[in-house]
């Protein structure tokens, strides 16, 4: 996928079926001519319904919040990539910090999930980001570089070119504390430089890198205006159609 502006809403474990449909309808209605791509990541139970709502809108795409690393089998309670494909999913969020923390997902496991998603022709939205402790220790750039190295740098250039990256500092997620536009830009720039070193300039300049962590209408414009920030992965503010609409309009 070539670099583009993206506003992605990660609904996390929020919205029941009817709330999700209503939210998707409002966002789709709002997104008739957005400057960037809009991606919605509802809970699994709403994927099919949300797909029905958005499928005729070319500007709005469907994402899953996770998938299992295995293709099928005796994994009670899990969701496979083929199940997601069957309900219209095109993007899969991989490596969200909440899954890294609560489900102990390692860089090694995430590398396998990225491979699976790409092998099925879907696009991973790969999340990276450091804790407050790491930020305060000043090792955040190296920490994020290592996440990318261990989960992504085995990929060929042609596979890497399909990915979307989301930088989400853990200390800014759901806390109301946003990374400053400069902090976001610094990290995004260093990620892009890393991609240029590991791959080449075309890959570095062609990859969409989203910022996530307390993005809201009041700060989206300034964050999105930074040279290496290509949009946002939005949690809380994506649950209100008005707020997410304003964020979409911030490009
Ligand atoms: P908030 O926007 O609620 O901080 O969540 C960010 C996030 O985790 C998106 O994936």
1 in a structural domain: no
**Which of 41, 233, 243 has most ligand 1 atoms within 8 Å of its beta carbon, as the pocket-test mutant?**
233
Give the phi and the psi of residue 69 in degrees, each rounded to 5. Answer: -75, -25
26 in a structural domain: yes
- The CATH number of residue 190's host domain is 3.20.20.70
Quote the ligand 1 centre to 60 CA distance (angstroms).
19
Exposed (0-12), middle (13-18) or buried (19+): which is 209, by Cβ within 10 Å?
buried
13 in a structural domain: yes
- From first to last of its 251 residues, the chain has per-residue pLDDT tens of 689 999 999 999 999 999 999 999 999 999 999 999 999 999 999 999 999 999 999 999 999 999 999 999 999 999 999 999 999 999 999 999 999 999 999 999 999 999 999 999 999 999 999 999 999 999 999 999 999 999 999 999 999 999 999 999 999 999 988 899 999 999 999 999 999 999 999 999 999 999 999 999 999 999 999 999 999 999 999 999 999 999 999 99
Name the residue range of residue 64's domain: 6-249
Which ranges of 120-180 would DSSP assign to H, the alpha helix?
132-137, 140-152, 157-160
What domain count does the chain have?
1
Token pair for 111: 């590398």
Ligand 1: residues with CB < 6 A are 10, 96, 168, 173-174, 212-215, 233-237
Task: Specify whether 96 is catalytic.
Answer: yes
Distance, in Å, from the CA atom of 118 to the CA atom of 219, rounded to the nearest integer, reads 33
Quote the ligand 1 centre to 200 CA distance (angstroms).
30
- Let me know: does 234 contact 38? Beta carbons within 8 Å: no
Token pair for 140: 């955040």
State the pTM of this model: 0.98
Task: Specify whether 168 is catalytic.
Answer: yes
223 in a structural domain: yes
- Let me know: does 5 contact 224? Beta carbons within 8 Å: yes
């Amino acid at each position: 996928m070539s670099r583009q502006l993206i506003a992605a809403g990660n609904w996390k474990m929020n919205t029941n079926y009817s709330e999700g449909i209503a939210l998707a309808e409002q966002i789709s209605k709002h997104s008739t001519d957005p400057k960037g791509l809009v991606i919605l990541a509802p809970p699994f139970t709403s994927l099919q319904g949300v797909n029905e709502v958005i499928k005729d809108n070319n500007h709005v795409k469907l994402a899953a919040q996770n998938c299992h690393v295995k293709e099928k089998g005796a994994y009670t309670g899990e969701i496979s990539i083929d199940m997601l494909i069957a309900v219209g999913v095109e993007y899969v969020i991989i490596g969200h910090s909440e899954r890294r923390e609560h489900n102990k997902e390692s860089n090694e496991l995430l590398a396998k999930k990225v491979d699976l998603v790409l092998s099925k022709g879907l696009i991973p939205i790969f999340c990276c980001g450091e804790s407050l402790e790491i930020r305060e220790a000043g090792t955040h750039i190296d920490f994020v570089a290592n996440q990318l190295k261990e989960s992504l740098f085995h990929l060929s250039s042609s596979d890497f070119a399909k990915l979307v990256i989301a930088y989400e500092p853990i200390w800014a997620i759901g806390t109301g504390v946003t990374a400053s536009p400069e902090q976001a830009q610094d990290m995004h720039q260093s990620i892009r430089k890393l991609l240029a070193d590991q791959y080449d300039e075309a890959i570095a300049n062609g990859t969409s890198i989203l910022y996530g962590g307390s993005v809201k209408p009041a700060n989206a414009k300034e964050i999105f205006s930074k040279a290496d920030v290509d949009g946002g992965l939005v949690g809380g503010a994506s649950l209100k159609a008005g707020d997410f609409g304003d964020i979409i309009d911030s490009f």
